């Protein structure tokens, strides 16, 4: 043991919070990796290190300030790795009316513990896939449907504390044991690539677990719905996207100008922005077509900042147009930087 201010803890109790579903072993390994990098640990410390938020509850002996490989980690219940509550509804989404109706129908089937149809959602970044997903999660939780997530952004080929074949298998098991359930697979392209591409073994094992899980849901008509999201469907393994694994394929493109204009009005109102005169659709049409729904949300926030910077009560259509042009130029520059 090391004595003095750097005394090593024999035992440490922590609460762990995460938006993702991990096994106990993965959580313990992940927390130990995070805490070993830190000195001066004490009860009440809150550490954020994706994909975890860790709160230290108790350290033994009390004056210990660090841990080592021999320290016992005791994990107390945090949020049980559930996806956080989201205050987003289908009414917050402009456009995609048919998609929203289909999803709502599947959620009603789940509420009745019936077998729903699964959905693959794809499209370019910024077109509204994540917002549609959040609205689905929010509605599912309100209906008493259990929600689980497999997130490709934390794919860890070494299986330390990211998504691994074992954690995917455990999530499907949890969903089966807690029906009705909704399984979200975000950033599917991270482990659903074609098998003839250069792959690591863990990625192939994860893909196999997803295929097995979906097949069991379909063959046994379980009250489980799978929604998968990807930006790049053309990279996915054909076994994953063939008909039978998913009933619906939602392609999300940019919204028509009329929908983008309505979205802009909605977010201007949300930000409390008043207009000096009515927006002229003809003046904005050519410019709106170059923006995504995500751009529109950012535009409203930037215009709100303008009212604070210049201490003005109302925004003119000309100022809106000027800010749109700035965003178009920024987007063009960003795209050019990746060529």
Determine the pLDDT at residue 6.
58
Q: What is the mean pLDDT of residues 116-139?
A: 88
Q: What is the mean pLDDT of residues 58-69?
A: 87
Output 221 or 281, whichever has higher pLDDT.
Answer: 221
Determine the pLDDT at residue 195.
59
Q: Across the chain, where does the E strand assignment appear?
A: 11-17, 46-49, 52-60, 72-76, 119-122, 146-151, 181-186, 224-230, 248-251, 274-275, 314-315
C-alpha–C-alpha distance, residues 108 and 180, integer Å: 11
Whether the per-residue pLDDT at 224 is higher than 80: the answer is: yes
Predicted confidence band at 279 (pLDDT cuts at 50, 70, 90)?
confident
- Into which CATH architecture does domain 4-76 fall? Roll (3.10)
Q: Are 229 and 123 in contact (CB under 8 A)?
A: no
Task: For 30-42, write each residue's pLDDT tens digit.
Answer: 888 888 888 788 8
Predicted confidence band at 231 (pLDDT cuts at 50, 70, 90)?
confident
Cβ partners under 8 Å of residue 238, min gap 6: 194
Q: What percentage of the chain carries pLDDT values higher than 90?
A: 29
Least confident of 92-106, 223-237, 282-296, 305-319: 282-296
C-alpha–C-alpha distance, residues 323 and 119, integer Å: 36
Q: Are 138 and 88 in contact (CB under 8 A)?
A: yes
CA 198 to centroid of chain Cα atoms: 26
Predicted confidence band at 83 (pLDDT cuts at 50, 70, 90)?
very low
Q: Are 18 and 149 in contact (CB under 8 A)?
A: no
Class of domain 257-337: mainly alpha
C-alpha–C-alpha distance, residues 275 and 296, integer Å: 16
Predicted confidence band at 29 (pLDDT cuts at 50, 70, 90)?
confident
Q: What is the mean pLDDT of residues 238-252?
A: 86
Same fold, 90-251 and 257-337: no
- Into which CATH architecture does domain 90-251 fall? 3-Layer(aba) Sandwich (3.40)
Give the residues across from 229 on adjacent strands: 121
Domain coordinates of the chain in residue numbers? 4-76, 90-251, 257-337
Report field, pTM of the whole predicted structure over 0.85? no
Task: For 161-194, write each residue's pLDDT tens digit.
Answer: 456 788 888 889 999 999 999 999 988 887 766 6
């Amino acid at each position: 043991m090391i004595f003095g201010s750097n005394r090593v803890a024999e035992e440490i109790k922590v609460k762990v919070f995460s938006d993702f579903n991990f096994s106990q072993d993965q959580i313990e390994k992940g927390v130990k990796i995070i805490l070993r990098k830190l000195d001066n640990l004490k009860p009440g410390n809150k550490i954020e290190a994706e994909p975890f938020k860790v709160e230290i509850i108790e350290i033994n002996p009390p004056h210990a300030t660090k841990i080592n490989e021999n320290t016992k980690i005791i994990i107390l219940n945090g949020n049980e790795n559930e996806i956080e509550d989201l205050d987003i509804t289908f009414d917050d989404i402009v456009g995609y009316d048919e998609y929203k109706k289909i999803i709502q129908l599947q959620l009603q089937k789940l509420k009745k513990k019936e077998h729903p149809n699964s959905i693959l959602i794809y499209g370019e970044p910024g077109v509204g896939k994540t917002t549609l997903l959040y609205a689905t999660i929010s509605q599912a939780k309100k209906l008493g449907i259990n929600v689980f997530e497999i997130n490709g952004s934390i794919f860890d080929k070494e299986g330390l504390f990211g998504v691994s074949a074992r954690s995917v298998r455990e999530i499907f098991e949890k969903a089966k044991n807690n029906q009705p359930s909704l399984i979200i697979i975000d950033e599917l392209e991270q482990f659903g690539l074609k098998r003839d591409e250069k792959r690591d073994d863990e990625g192939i094992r994860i893909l196999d677990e997803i295929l097995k899980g979906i097949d069991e849901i379909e063959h046994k008509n379980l009250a489980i719905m799978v929604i998968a999201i990807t930006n790049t469907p053309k990279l996915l393994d054909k076994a994953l996207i063939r008909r039978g694994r998913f009933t619906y394929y939602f392609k999300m493109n940019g919204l028509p100008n009329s929908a983008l204009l309505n979205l802009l009005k909605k977010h201007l109102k949300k930000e409390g922005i008043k207009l000096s005169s009515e927006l002229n659709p003809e003046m904005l049409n050519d410019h709106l077509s170059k923006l995504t729904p995500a751009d529109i949300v950012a535009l409203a926030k930037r215009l709100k900042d303008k009212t604070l910077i210049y201490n003005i009560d109302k925004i003119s259509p000309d100022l809106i147009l000027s800010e749109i042009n700035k965003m178009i130029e920024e987007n063009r520059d960003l795209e050019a930087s990746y060529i």
